[in-house]
Amino acid sequence: MAKLNHILLAATALVAVSGCAKKRPQTLPPAPLTGPSGAAGGPVRAGDGAGEGAIVPGSDADFRRSVTSNTVNFGLDQYDIDPQARSILDSQAEWLQRNPNVRITIEGHCDERGTREYNLGLGDRRANSAKNYLAARGVSPARMTTISYGAERPLALGSDEQAYAQNRRAVTIVIG
Amino acid sequence: MTNRESLPFGPSLSKPRPAPGRQRKGSLSTSAGRTGWVGLVAFLLATPAMAQEPAPAAPRQPQPAGQDSELVVDVTGGISAPMPIAIPTMPTPAVADTPAGSTDTLGRQLSEIIATDLRNSGLFTPIQPAQLRTVAFPEVTAPAFDYWGGTGAQALVQGFIRATGDGNLTVGCYLYDVSARTELTRQGFVVPPADWRRAAHKCADSIYARLTGEGPYFDSRVVYVSETGPKARRIKRLAIMDQDGANHRFLTNGQSIVLTPRFAPNQQSIVYMSYLNDRPAIYVYDIGSGRQRLVVQNASLTFAPRFSPDGRWILFSMATAGNTDLYRVPAGGGAPQRLTNSPGIDTGGSYSPDGSRIVFESDRSGGQQLYVMNADGSNQNRISFGGGRYATPAWSPRGDLIAFTRLSGNFRIGVMSPSGGGERLLTDSWKDEGPNWSPNGRVLTFNRSGRGSGGSEQLWMVDLTGVNERRIPTPLDGSDPAWGPLRP
Of the given ranges (A42-51, B17-26, B185-194, B237-246), which has the lowest mean pLDDT? B17-26
- The answer to whether residues B365 and B427 belong to one domain is yes
Task: Find out whether B488 and B469 touch, Cβ atoms under 8 Å.
Answer: no
Neighbours of A1 (CB within 10 A): 6
- Pairing type for strands B424-425 and B410-416 reads antiparallel
Q: Does the residue B260 lie in any domain?
A: yes
Judged by CB atoms closer than 8 Å, whether chains meet at A116 and B278 is answered as no
Specify if A142 maps to a domain: yes
Establish if A159 touches chain B: CB-CB under 8 angstroms. yes
* Pairing label, strands B369-374, B381-382: antiparallel
| Whole-number pLDDT of residue B201 | 98
Do B317 and B180 share a structural domain?
no
Nearest-by-CA chain A residue for B479: A116
Q: Is the domain of A74 the same as that of A159? A: yes
Q: What percentage of chain B has pLDDT greater than the value 90?
A: 80
B414 touches chain A (CB under 8 A): no
**Identity of the residue numbered A35:** G
A115/B contact by beta carbon, under 8 A: yes
The residue among B262, B238, B298, B209 whose CA lies nearest residue B24 is B209
Looking at residue B27, its pLDDT comes to: 34
Beta-carbon separation of A117 and B260 below 8 A: yes
Examine the pLDDT at B23 and tell me if it is beyond 70: no
Alpha helices in A24-151 (DSSP H): 60-66, 83-98, 116-136
Instruction: Lowest mean pLDDT of A49-63, A134-148, B174-188, B286-300, name the range.
Output: A49-63
Average pLDDT, chain B: 87
Quick check: B282 and B316 in contact, CB under 8 A?
Answer: yes
Q: Clarify whether residues B197 and B228 are in a common domain.
A: no
Pair B206, B228 in one domain: no
pLDDT score of B69: 63
Q: Among A80, A84, A55, which residue's Cα sits nearest to residue A68? A: A84
pLDDT of residue B165: 87
Mark whether A95 and A17 lie in a shared domain.
Answer: no
Decide if A47 is inside a domain: no
Tell me, yes or no, whether B10 lies in a domain. no
In a domain, B1, yes or no: no
Q: For chain A, how many structural domains are there in total?
A: 2
Chain B positions touching A122 (Cβ under 8 A) are 345
Residue B4 falls inside a structural domain: no
In whole angstroms, give the CA distance from residue B152 to residue B178: 9
**Separation of alpha carbons B250 and B234, rounded Å:** 16
The domain boundary, picked from B189, B212, B235, lies at: B212
pLDDT at B20 > cutoff 50: no
Give dist(CA B242, CA B459) in Å, integer: 13
Domain count, chain B: 2
Segment B389-411 shows an average pLDDT of: 97
Confidence check: pLDDT of A162 > 60 = yes
Q: List, for residues A19-28, the tens digit of each pLDDT value.
A: 444 444 444 4
CB A122 within 8 A of CB A114: yes
Q: Is B475's Cβ below 8 Å from some Cβ in A?
A: no
pLDDT higher than 70, residue B471: yes
Instruction: Classify strands B443-449 and B292-294 as parallel, antiparallel or unpaired.
Output: unpaired
- Backbone phi and psi for residue B469, each to the nearest 5 degrees, phi listed first: -105, 125
Contact B77, B8 (CB under 8 A): yes
**Helix, strand, or coil (residue B63):** coil
How far apart, in Å, do the first and last CA atoms of chain B sit?
A: 38
Please indicate, yes or no, if residue A134 is contained in any of the structural domains. Answer: yes
CA dihedral B422, B428, B430, B436 (to 10 degrees): -60
The whole-angstrom separation of Cα A23 and Cα A44 is: 19
Q: Which residue of A has its CA nearest to B392?
A: A115
Cα–Cα distance measured from residue A151 to residue B233, given in angstroms and rounded to the nearest whole number? 11
The distance between the two most distant Cα atoms of chain B, rounded to a whole number of Å, is: 74
Enumerate the residues of chain A whose CB falls inside 8 A of the CB of residue B407.
114-115
CA B442 to chain centre: 8
Domain end among B166, B192, B212: B212
Best residue of B273, B279, B298, B303 to probe chain A, by most A CBs closer than 10 Å? B303
Instruction: Report the percent of chain A where pLDDT is more than 90.
Output: 68
Q: Span B268-294, mean pLDDT? A: 96
Residue of B nearest to A159 (CA): B452
Among A43-52, A145-154, A162-171, B476-485, the minimum mean pLDDT is found in A43-52
Select the more confidently predicted residue: B87 or B6: B87
- Are A152 and B234 within 8 A, CB to CB? yes
Is B488 within a domain?
A: no
A35 — pLDDT class (breaks 50, 70, 90): very low
Interface test with A, best of B406, B453, B477, B480 (most A CBs within 10 A): B453
In a domain? residue A123: yes
Q: Does residue B362 belong to the interface with chain A, where contact is any CB pair within 8 Å? A: no
Q: What is the pTM of this model?
A: 0.83
Confirm if B460 and B472 have CB atoms less than 8 A apart.
Answer: yes
Residue A81's CATH number = 3.30.1330.60
In a domain, A39, yes or no: no
How far is B12 from B9, CA to CA, in rounded Å?
8
Q: Which residue type occupies A19?
A: G
- Dihedral of the alpha carbons of B91, B95, B100, B101, in degrees to the nearest 10: 100
Same domain, B291 and B202: no
Tens-place pLDDT, residues B352-372: 999 999 999 999 999 999 999
Note whether residue A46 is domain-resident. Answer: no
Print the SS3 string covering B331-345.
CCCCCCEECCCCCCC
Closest residue in A to B318 (Cα) is A121
| SS3 of residue B199 by DSSP | helix
pLDDT tens column, B47-106: 333 223 333 333 344 444 444 467 899 888 878 889 999 999 999 999 999 999 999 999
Q: Quick one: A18 and A74 in the same domain?
A: no
Question: Could you tell me the pLDDT band of residue A33, with boundaries at 50, 70 and 90?
Answer: very low
Q: How far apart are CA B153 and CA B138, in angstroms?
A: 21
Sign of CA dihedral B410, B414, B416, B422: negative
Question: Is the CB of residue A46 less than 8 Å away from at least one CB of chain B?
Answer: no
Q: Is the ipTM of this complex over 0.90?
A: no
Instruction: Measure Cα distances from B64 to A136, B177, B183, B468 in Å.
Output: 74, 13, 18, 21
pLDDT band at B300 (very low <50, low <70, confident <90, very high): confident
Percent of chain B scoring above 70 in pLDDT: 86
On whether both B228 and B361 belong to a single domain, the answer is yes
Closest residue of A to B303, CA-based? A117
Of the candidates A79, A114, A116, which has its C-beta nearest B259's C-beta?
Answer: A116
Co-location of B194 and B301 in the same domain? no
Domain match, B227 and B208 both: no
**Closest to B198 measured CA to CA, from B35, B324, B2, B45:** B35
Contacts of B323 in chain A (CB under 8 A): 125
Domain check: are B246 and B379 in the same one?
A: yes
Partners of residue B449 in chain A, C-beta under 8 Å: 112
Three-class secondary structure of residue B357 per DSSP = strand
Q: Do B405 and A115 touch (CB under 8 A)?
A: yes
- Mean pLDDT for A68-90 is 97
> Shortest CB distance from B345 goes to which of A112, A118, A159?
A118
User: Which structural domain range is residue A23 located in?
Assistant: 1-27
What's the pLDDT band for B311 if we cut at 50, 70, 90?
Answer: very high
Overall size of chain A counted in residues: 176
DSSP secondary structure string for all residues of B271-289: EEEE-GGG--EEEEEETTT
- What's the pLDDT band for B298 if we cut at 50, 70, 90? confident
Structure confidence at residue B22 as a pLDDT band (50, 70, 90): very low
Q: Is B230 found in the same domain as B165?
A: no
Whether residues A159 and B317 touch (CB distance < 8 A) is answered with no
| Contact call for residues B222 and B240 (beta carbons, < 8 A) | yes
- Among A118, A124, A154, whose Cβ lies nearest the Cβ of B301? A124
Q: What's the pLDDT score for residue B126?
A: 97
Helix (H/G/I), strand (E/B), else coil: B261: strand
The answer to whether residue A50 is domain-embedded is: no
Average pLDDT over residues B126-149: 94
A122/chain B closest Cα distance in angstroms: 8
- Measuring CA to CA, which residue among B207, B173, B212, B210 is closest to residue B191? B173
Cα–Cα nearest to B405, from B442, B361, B458, B443:
B361
Cα separations in angstroms, A68 against A99, A176, B113:
16, 20, 62
Residue B88: name the closest of B65, B107, B64, B66 by CA: B107
Query: Does B80 share its domain with B160?
Result: yes
Domain boundary among B212, B234, B251: B212
Q: Which residue of B has its CA nearest to A132?
A: B321
The answer to whether residue B122 sits within a structural domain is yes
Whichever domain contains B387, its CATH number is: 2.120.10.30
Q: Which of residues 278-317 of B touch A (CB under 8 A)?
A: 278, 280, 301, 303-304, 317
Same domain, B275 and B181: no
Could you tell me which chain A residue has the CA closest to the CA of B435?
A: A115
Average pLDDT of B342-349?
97
Across the interface, whether the CB atoms of B367 and A147 are under 8 A apart is answered: no
CB contact under 8 A, A157 and B231: yes
Q: How confident is the model at residue B142 (pLDDT cuts 50, 70, 90)?
A: very high
* pLDDT level of residue B333 (50, 70, 90 thresholds): confident
Angle at which helix A116-136 crosses helix A83-98, to 10 degrees, equals 60
> B193: domain range?
20-212
d(CA B13, CA B392): 22
| CA distance linking residue A103 with residue B133, whole number of Å | 75
